[in-house]
Structure formats: C-alpha cells, structure tokens
C-alpha cells in the first residue's frame, strides 16, 4: 500500500497581521507526516510566528513548492517537538 501525498504549508504571521505563505512542500514519508502534524506553529525571536499545517493532497493536485524552512522544520522533527515551538528551544 502506498502512502498518499501530503502537503506541508507554513504561513508567516508578521507585523500588523501580515500573512505570507513562506513554505510549501509535498511529503510522502509516514514518520515525517506524523511528526509534522504534531507541530502547530514556530515562534521567532522578533515576536512573529509561522503556523504549520499538514493536509492530504487532492489527486493530481499540482503544488507550487516553496522551500523556505526545510532545515528549521527538520530540526523541530529531530528534536521531537510538538505544539508551539520557539526557535530558541532548538539551539
């Protein structure tokens, strides 16, 4: 049985309510999907944050990938973080 494609989308929540899509990738690895589903958002030292969502891709859905925070999300998964993660916790 093959694992269905999932889309990881991150939206940066900036100053004065700005919402900017900053990361979007397609993943197929079960452990990575499960780990990223446990992370809700990432906080930065300048009091901005990035919400993280994982959803199932529709059949034949074309996804324009944005590789903005691959390493940061990988660090969160490796550290076993869940819920809200502040970048200072990863150092």
What pLDDT digit, counting tens, does each position of 55-81 carry?
999 999 999 999 999 999 999 999 999
Q: Of 53, 55, 43, 52, which is closest to residue 14 (Cα–Cα)? A: 43
What pLDDT digit, counting tens, does each position of 40-55 carry?
999 999 999 999 999 9
SS3 content of the chain, % helix, strand, coil (to 5): 25, 40, 35
1: pLDDT strictly greater than 70: no
15: pLDDT strictly greater than 90: no
pLDDT at 16: 83
The rounded distance, in Å, linking the Cα atoms of 8 and 42 is 14
SS3 state at 4: coil
Which sequence spans correspond to the domains of the chain?
6-90
The rounded distance, in Å, linking the Cα atoms of 7 and 50 is 16
């Amino acid at each position: 049985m093959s694992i269905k494609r999932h889309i990881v989308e991150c939206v940066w929540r900036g100053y004065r309510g700005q919402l900017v899509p900053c990361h979007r990738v397609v993943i197929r690895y079960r452990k990575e999907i499960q780990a990223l589903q446990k992370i809700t958002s990432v906080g930065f030292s300048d009091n901005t944050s990035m919400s993280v969502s994982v959803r199932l891709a529709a059949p034949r859905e074309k996804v324009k990938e944005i590789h903005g925070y691959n390493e940061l999300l990988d660090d969160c998964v490796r550290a076993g973080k869940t819920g809200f993660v502040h970048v200072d916790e990863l150092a």
